[in-house]
Amino acid sequence: QAGLLLVSTPIGNARDITLRALDALREADVLVAEDTRSLRRLMEIHGVPLAGRPLLAYHDHSGPPARQKVLAYLTEGQRVVYASEAGTPLIADPGYDLVRAAREAGVAVSAAPGPAAAIMALSLSGLPTDRFFFAGFLPSQAGGRRKALRALGAVPGTLIFYESPKRLKKSLADMAEILGPGRDAVVARELTKLFEQVAAAPLGDLAERYAEAATPKGEIVVLVGPGAEGEIGEDDLTALLQAALARHSTKDA
């Protein structure tokens, strides 16, 4: 079918590709990827030939000309697949501008869904899953990170962060201080890979453990369970947010 198909790719284990994703990669007229080398490699692993089809790199930062090129294929009625380097496209990854532009151009947009590190980590975590907030990557500078954490403190659900190994220590220390050392937390590392590890402990304990350890290797998701505010205020998000805002303005005054 003509249109844009968002294809999810594995987050570590190449066998986590879906049959539908493989069909889509085989049948597309045009292949677009965040990283063309990793898509080529994935196709090689699964025996899907490129067979002379266009393979384009696309990143939201590639700018309007790259987007126009993809849109031109779409408006001609071609079947275009867009794959991220790993996991679900657009989830802490590029593609948002492309999907918006395709929708605005009246192009059909669908997906062949698959792995996303945030969702896998959440289901393994043992933390509440009924409400969660995906916070993506925290700002890398301490000031921005601490401000973001203060704003997230009152969210009535499990918080999910993507984190880099070199910032893990500092982020856990700031989380323990700002969100509270007693909140249940999880560090999920190298999901679907050989050294998959899920460490669960109160935030303060995790912060201490990682402060003393060598910089961890690999890819990391950090999850923080809801605080007492989350439990008390579940019925009234507005009241919670107003309370959080009031706290901020007194602090700022």
Name the residues that contact ligand SAM, by CB under 6 A: 11-12, 84, 86-88, 91-93, 116-118, 162-164, 188-193, 219-221
Minimum CB separation from ligand SAM for residue 220, in Å? 5
Nearest distance from C-beta of residue 191 to ligand SAM, angstroms: 3
**By C-beta, is 92 or 199 nearer to ligand SAM?**
92
Which residues lie across from 187 on neighbouring strands? 199, 222
Q: Give least dist CB 121 to ligand SAM, A.
A: 7
Cβ closest to ligand SAM, residue 134 vs residue 201? 134
Q: Which is nearer to ligand SAM, 163 or 174 (CB)?
A: 163
Distances from the Cα of 100 to the Cα of 31, 67, 105, 195, angstroms:
18, 11, 9, 37
Q: What is the residue whose two structure tokens read 């080398």?
A: 37
Shorter beta-carbon distance to ligand SAM: residue 30 or 191: 191
CB 222 within 8 A of CB 136: no
Nearer to ligand SAM, 31 or 240 (CB): 31
Query: Residues near 108 by Cβ (< 8 Å), separated by ≥ 6?
Result: 1, 2, 3, 4
Q: How far apart are CA 110 and CA 226, in angstroms?
A: 33
Least distance in angstroms from the C-beta of 51 to ligand SAM? 27
Owner of token pair 């079947």: 79
Given a contact cutoff of 8 angstroms between Cβ atoms, the answer to whether 137 and 221 are in contact is: no
Smallest separation (angstroms) from ligand SAM to the CB of 158: 16
DSSP 8-state code for residue 89: T
